[in-house]
Amino acid sequence: MCCTFAAHFFIDKTSNRAMKHLIAPSLLAADFSNLKKDIELINNSEADWFHLDIMDGVFVPNISFGIPVLESIKPLAKKPFDVHLMITQPERYIETFKNAGADLFNVHYEASTHLHRTVQTVHANNMKAGVTLNPHTPISVLEDIVAELDLVLLMSVNPGFGGQKFIENTYNKVEQLKELILKKNSRALIQVDGGVDNTNAAQLVEKGADVLVAGSYVFKSANPEETIKGLKELNF
Ligand code: DX5
Ligand code: ZN
């Protein structure tokens, strides 16, 4: 394997936070007729992870791509796979996604009834464990699980599609989540996904976001590598 996930986690041991925010471009907005080109683009860029959106047409009203695609692109990718599962009962596929190359297995709070067991099983399969909250789900539901998590993803759009408008209430949620993480002494990174671009990235990081996901803003731009660099350096 090219790289361990830990090497890309960049944790500051003193503060237990990511040292610099991370960028995870979402392949949902990539060119599916030439995925190899866009994977190499991410490999050669300042991006930290690949964000992979798995949709089942049930939990969200869209179907994206699945296991065979992950298996095919894994050997080409030089950065960790951050897998965002927008599927019902994601715990059914923990081992399958591990075998397909997932480094972080991220389930929706709204989709996994026995969340604590799911997180334990993800760790038992040597993956980082993430939990995602939809825009309407309050931070408080994480009180008794956040200490076990490696990452919490806050959706800043309703999941299912790329290219949607950023929901402003996400700023408040990042602040609330950061408070909870500190209170519970959790190592969880804060990730934000949906409508992230040059108009909100800096403020998100300032409020406490550790990982920014960006799909359309990166892949629909004239120079995606430069766009990723801009997000990394918060220089637009
Ligand atoms: C939406 C996905 C996102 C999506 C983001 O359900 O979870 O990761 O790809 O796309 P943009 O950045 O275009 O909003
Ligand atoms: Zn996503």
CATH code assigned at 30: 3.20.20.70
User: Measured between alpha carbons, how far is residue 170 from residues 2, 14, 107, 134, 195 in Å?
Assistant: 34, 27, 19, 10, 11
Given 48, 53, 82, 150, which residue is catalytic?
A: 53
Closest CA to 221 of 187, 188, 198: 198
Closest CA to 207 of 178, 169, 236: 178
- CB-defined site of ligand 1, < 6 Å: 26, 28-29, 51, 53, 84, 157, 159-160, 162-164, 193-196, 213-217
Distance CA 161, CA 192 (A): 15
What is the pLDDT averaged over residues 92-113? 98
5 in a domain, yes or no? Answer: no
What is the pLDDT averaged over residues 104-110? 98
What value does the mean pLDDT of the chain take?
Answer: 94
* Contact assessment for residue 56 and residue 89, using Cβ atoms and an 8 Å cutoff: no
Band (pLDDT 50/70/90 cuts) for residue 11 is low
Tens-digit pLDDT profile for residues 14-71: 555 557 999 999 999 999 999 999 999 999 999 999 999 999 999 999 999 999 999 9
- 193 as an active site residue: the answer is yes
7 in a domain, yes or no? Answer: no
Q: Domain of 93?
A: 19-233
User: With 70 as the cut, is the pLDDT of residue 5 above it?
Assistant: no
Distance CA 236, CA 220 (A): 16
Closest ligand 1 atom to residue 159 Cα is: 6
What is the pLDDT averaged over residues 108-113? 98
| Ligand 1 atom 10 nearest Cα | 162
SS3 47: coil
User: With 90 as the cut, is the pLDDT of residue 233 above it?
Assistant: yes
192 in a domain, yes or no? Answer: yes
151 in a domain, yes or no? Answer: yes
**Separation of CA 70 and ligand 1 centre (Å):** 17
pLDDT of 2: 45
Question: Which region, left, alpha or beta, applies to residue 138 given φ > 0 means left and ψ of -120 to 50 means alpha?
Answer: beta
81 in a domain, yes or no? Answer: yes
Read off the DSSP letter of residue 143.
Answer: T
209 in a domain, yes or no? Answer: yes
pLDDT of 19: 77
Closest ligand 1 atom to residue 164 Cα is: 14
34 in a domain, yes or no? Answer: yes
Tens-digit pLDDT profile for residues 63-102: 999 999 999 999 999 999 999 999 999 999 999 999 999 9
Interhelix angle 35-43/224-233, nearest 10 degrees: 40
Quote the percentage of the chain above a pLDDT of 90. 92
Q: Residue 207: which H helix or E strand, with range?
A: helix 201-207
Quote the percentage of the chain above a pLDDT of 70. 92
6 in a domain, yes or no? Answer: no
User: With 60 as the cut, is the pLDDT of residue 202 above it?
Assistant: yes
Domain count, the chain: 1
Distance CA 105, CA 101 (A): 10
- 53 as an active site residue: the answer is yes
User: With 60 as the cut, is the pLDDT of residue 3 above it?
Assistant: no
